[in-house]
């Protein structure tokens, strides 16, 4: 969490990624830091998984991470009426 908050303070977008066992801890830490970074949680545990399982977790999380980094664009402003 500290790393993402630091990156964002430098203008570098980031997403906090952790296992779902740490949802509450992540929320508490974000509040303590006065920050509200984007967060993506993956299924717990991580450390006992094979490389292929970790890759599958990363592949599954990737769309949410990309969406957090690049939110949908705002709709265009209406054009001024021609006079």
Residue 62 reports pLDDT greater than 90: yes
List pLDDT tens digits, range 8-26: 999 999 999 999 999 999 9
Residue 58 reports pLDDT greater than 60: yes
Note the pTM of the prediction, 2 decimals.
0.77
Is the separation of the CB atoms in 41 and 30 below 8 Å? no
How many CB atoms are located within 10 Å of the residue 28 CB? 12
How many CB atoms are located within 10 Å of the residue 26 CB? 19
Rounded to an integer, what distance in angstroms lies between the CA atom of residue 26 and that of residue 47? 18
């Amino acid at each position: 969490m500290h790393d993402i908050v630091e990156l964002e303070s430098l203008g570098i977008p980031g997403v906090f990624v952790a296992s779902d066992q740490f949802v509450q801890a992540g929320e508490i830490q974000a509040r303590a830091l006065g920050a509200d970074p984007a967060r993506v949680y993956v299924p717990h545990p991580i450390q006992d998984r094979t490389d292929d399982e970790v890759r599958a977790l990363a592949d599954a999380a990737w769309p949410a991470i990309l969406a957090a980094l690049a939110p949908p664009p705002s709709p265009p402003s209406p054009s001024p009426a021609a006079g």
